[in-house]
Structure 1
């Protein structure tokens, strides 16, 4: 069967071979025909092998391309999966952090609520107020939903300006807790102070660094000329005077400090956002003569603490005595003795 197919397929070659024998008339026709058929068979095999090699190469290239596409697709899928996992992980971390913060805030306020009431936030000294910074009852209630803050505000409006260890006022605490109704209670009370003509209370709050009140007061509609002047002229002037006094203390300008305190006796009782008083600032800038003068005029400043719970004596004790120059030594020693004596006498009271 196979022999018949081979004979059939080699028929044209045999005919061409016989034609060449007739044309060339070789000496040995049989050998010539055998050689001719062999060469033709070799050529056919070589051509077929070449075609097979080309097809094999094409198949290999196709396989390589398919593999490349498959790998690229797999790589893309892996990248997308990793990005999805990273996004989900970040979302989980954010949710867990928020949950922890909420739990810590709730725990903190629960602990604070169980503590005894804080000391009075204001000391009166010849009609001069000294606001004590720290966690107040108003801070705690500002973080409570549906809290009635009006009674606390009436009892002690100065606590509006008090700042806790994080430098937050009760209004800030309410904002952080997302309790807009508590924010509005505080804002409304500040507006009410001015509407009732209590400019002293407003000045006290501004002097204690509660500058947020300015924006609240500007919401008053149909205010008279005096009220407008107080909001837009008097308060900005007060803030400017505080800045001037702070700069004079920093520069050691004793004359300017004395003049400003004579013009307005409570200007030296300002507080900044860190809770620092004029006495803190004088010691921090190593203006010991000015600090001693402030202490003699306002002894209660000895008890004022900043948001880090540091009194002026604490601040003075933190200074390396070896760094005190000979020119400063006498004033430094007098100030230290006066602070110790003043602090001791107030504690005995």
Structure 2
């Protein structure tokens, strides 16, 4: 066969319109050429009920598709070919269209991610029943089959199995579990937005025992909502409730609020000259006093970690390594601590696409993989919406990230692979922090 001939390998169900090099007939429009394969284009807009076609024009002997053409023709003319068309044709066409439009650096990895995420969303067509006696070899795509993200030299070696992701759950909360809506608002947010009788809101907070540090979609705590509503009585009630925690020596609750990014703890006062530290000291809660006095230093170190992560590069990476000493329990708290936007260090590293820091944090502080933001989105949710999805998602999954974790809107990470606008908005917010 000469080099300038055309090879058409088709997988047919009914007859299809003839595809030529000229204008497409019957509403069929050839897609652009496939990167890396001279003279190859995919007819990717045919309905699967009609056909799947690979069109090779101006083939070259060194092109892999040219060599594979005889085998493809034999396969596509068989019953196996019909099965593949019905089971995989539509997802493959969608994936090839996506690759043709976005031209990723790693088309094979991008296609694998696309097909996996499509099946996780439940949008892929069900495979037809296997023929009698056919061997059942399991699913075609397995996440375990992806290349191991084993680094070389001084980089972290990520050897965690995916099954370990089920063990990466947030520690048990000292508060009652809050049923928040899809906008991140808890019953406290709603209560803070309306007036109560004297002591009514504080009594409610004692009854429900919910974490007042939780933030909604607009990064507001219940206290912020009360301020915006102009209900200063509610603001005072919330502060009095925080004071009551110090008076009882509830260090665990105060610590959980701090790790969730609550920045009003030290602002709670019993009087002009009596602050929350004085309240704890008067009642002999020395451990609580020590904790409260450590809050400014902790917040300063947390913010330094996040700044270094955003900066990245050699200087930022070195500073993160100095602040987060592996094996130090305090470093684990710093790594998982969220800021006033609800993001921990791994969230920020993914949004800023700092791949080396993502590997460092995910491997050495796997607890960060399970930390949710203000809407309970994990770092893997974020990774699916950024440009470097291929490499970052592989790193996180190999480290143990849960691929089926849902945020408050009921969305798994795969949702953001196809709907990136929310994550892109978060990236813009992080970029603004660098100015």
Q: Deviations over 1:56-99 (max 9, x none)?
A: xxxxxxxxxxxxxxxxxxxxxxxxxxxxxxxxxxxxxxxxxxxx
Instruction: Provide closer, same or farther for how the CA distance between residues 162 and 233 of structure 1 changes in structure 2, counting only shifts above 3 A.
Output: same
Number of residue-to-residue matches in the alignment: 217
Q: Is the 8 A contact 2:246 2:288 kept in 1?
A: no
1:219 aligned residue: 275
Q: Does 1:125 align with 2:171?
A: yes
The one of 213, 233, 258 aligned to 1:161: 213
1:78-157 alignment runs, 5 A limit: 124-125=170-171, 134-146=184-196, 147-153=200-206, 155-157=208-210
How far the C-alpha of 1:219 sits from its partner, in A, is 2.6
Q: Deviations over 1:143-194 (max 9, x none)?
A: 1221534344554442x11111222110111122222222222111111111
Q: Does 1:334 align with 2:394?
A: yes
Cα distance in 2 between the residues matched to 1:180 and 1:268: 34
2:134 aligned residue: none
Q: Is the 8 A contact 1:141 1:149 kept in 2?
A: no
Q: Does 1:186 align with 2:238?
A: yes
Q: Is the 8 A contact 1:248 1:256 kept in 2?
A: no
Cα distance in 2 between the residues matched to 1:279 and 1:134: 21
Instruction: Provide closer, same or farther for how the CA distance between residues 262 and 287 of structure 1 changes in structure 2, counting only shifts above 3 A.
Output: farther
Q: Does 1:197 align with 2:249?
A: yes
How far the C-alpha of 1:300 sits from its partner, in A, is 6.5
Q: Is the 8 A contact 1:203 1:235 kept in 2?
A: no
Normalized against structure 1, the TM-score is what?
Answer: 0.51
Q: Deviations over 1:266-308 (max 9, x none)?
A: 222211222222221111222234324444544574461345x
Q: Deviations over 1:239-282 (max 9, x none)?
A: 12212322343312353254176241322221122222222111
How far the C-alpha of 1:195 sits from its partner, in A, is 1.3
User: Per chain length, whose mean CA-contact separation is higher, i.e. which structure has more relative contact order (CA < 8 Å, sep 6+)?
Assistant: 2
Instruction: Provide closer, same or farther for how the CA distance between residues 126 and 255 of structure 1 changes in structure 2, counting only shifts above 3 A.
Output: farther
2:387 aligned residue: 320
Normalized against structure 2, the TM-score is what?
Answer: 0.42
1:272 aligned residue: 339
Cα distance in 2 between the residues matched to 1:128 and 1:259: 27
Greater share of helix? 1
2:290 aligned residue: 230
Question: SS state of the match for residue 334, structure 1?
Answer: helix
Cα distance in 1 between the residues matched to 2:334 and 2:327: 6
1:255 aligned residue: 321
1:343 aligned residue: 403
Question: SS state of the match for residue 304, structure 1?
Answer: coil
How far the C-alpha of 1:203 sits from its partner, in A, is 2.3
Instruction: Provide closer, same or farther for how the CA distance between residues 239 and 293 of structure 1 changes in structure 2, counting only shifts above 3 A.
Output: same
1:19 aligned residue: none
Report the aligned-residue RMSD. Answer: 3.8
Cα distance in 1 between the residues matched to 2:326 and 2:397: 26
2:223 aligned residue: 171
How far the C-alpha of 1:310 sits from its partner, in A, is 4.9
Cα distance in 2 between the residues matched to 1:272 and 1:198: 22
How far the C-alpha of 1:127 sits from its partner, in A, is 7.3
Structure 2 residues not aligned, in runs of 5+: 1-168, 311-315, 413-435
Instruction: Provide closer, same or farther for how the CA distance between residues 215 and 305 of structure 1 changes in structure 2, counting only shifts above 3 A.
Output: closer
